[in-house]
Structure 1
Amino acid sequence: MPEFDLDSFKKTWQEQPVQSKYDQNEILKMLNKKSRNYMKYIFWISVAEFLFFSILGLFYIVKSNDSQSFLSILEKMGVQKDVELETKLDNIYLLIKILSLLVTGFFVVIFYLNYRKIRVEEDLKKFIIRIITFKKTVNAFIITNIGLLIVLILVLTGFVFYILNTQHIELSGSEFTGFIVGIIASTVLCVMLIWIYYRLVYGIIMGRLDKNLKQLKEIESQENI
Structure 2
Amino acid sequence: MDELELLKQDWKKQEEVLPRLSYKEIYQMILKKSSSIVKWIFVISILEFVLWASLDIIFRFTGLHAEVQKESMGTFSLIGSILSYTILIYFIVRFYLNYKKIQATDSTKVLMENIIKTRRTVKHYIWINLSFFGILMISTTIYMLFFTNEFQKSAGVETPIWMIVLSTLLVTLVFIGLIALFYRLIYGILTRRLKKNYKELEKLEI
TM-score range relative to shorter protein: 0.7 to 0.9
Contact (CA 8 Å) 1:35, 1:209: kept in 2 or not? yes
Superimposed CA distance per residue, residues 75-121 of structure 1 (whole angstroms, 9 cap, x where no aligned partner): xxxxxxxxxx7252132222212221121111111110111111355
Shift of 1:17: 8.7
Contact (CA 8 Å) 2:71, 2:148: kept in 1 or not? no
Report the Cα distance in structure 2 between the residues aligned to 1:125 and 1:163, rounded to whole angstroms.
55
- SS of 1:18's partner is helix
Q: Which residue of 2 aligns with 1:10?
A: 7
One-letter amino acid of the counterpart of residue 59, structure 2: Y
Report the Cα distance in structure 1 between the residues aligned to 2:43 and 2:177, rounded to whole angstroms.
24
Contact (CA 8 Å) 2:137, 2:172: kept in 1 or not? yes
For the pair 1:126 / 2:107, whether they are aligned, the reply is no
Change beyond 3 A, Cα 1:61–1:184: same
Report the Cα distance in structure 2 between the residues aligned to 1:15 and 1:63, rounded to whole angstroms.
72
Greater displacement, 10-19 / 188-197: 10-19
For the pair 1:50 / 2:49, whether they are aligned, the reply is yes
Identity %: 27
- Consecutive unaligned residues of structure 1, counting only runs of 5 or more, are 72-84
Equivalent of residue 208 in structure 1, options 193, 199, 204: 193
Normalising by structure 1, we get a TM-score of 0.78
Contact (CA 8 Å) 1:29, 1:120: kept in 2 or not? no
Shift of 1:210: 1.0
Normalising by structure 2, we get a TM-score of 0.84
Aligned alpha-carbon RMSD (Å): 2.9
Greater displacement, 146-155 / 173-182: 173-182
One-letter amino acid of the counterpart of residue 162, structure 2: T
For the pair 1:190 / 2:190, whether they are aligned, the reply is no
Greater displacement, 34-43 / 55-64: 55-64
Change beyond 3 A, Cα 1:164–1:104: closer
Contact (CA 8 Å) 1:32, 1:120: kept in 2 or not? no
Q: Which residue of 2 aligns with 1:163?
A: 147
Greater displacement, 87-96 / 150-159: 87-96
Shift of 1:18: 3.1
Q: Which residue of 2 aligns with 1:21?
A: 20
Report the Cα distance in structure 2 between the residues aligned to 1:89 and 1:176, rounded to whole angstroms.
19
- Consecutive unaligned residues of structure 2, counting only runs of 5 or more, are none
1:43-192 alignment, distance < 5 Å: 43-66=42-65, 68=67, 86=70, 88-119=72-103, 122-163=106-147, 175-192=160-177
Report the Cα distance in structure 2 between the residues aligned to 1:33 and 1:177, rounded to whole angstroms.
54
Structure 1 or 2: more helix by fraction: 2
Report the Cα distance in structure 2 between the residues aligned to 1:32 and 1:217, rounded to whole angstroms.
13
- SS of 1:202's partner is helix
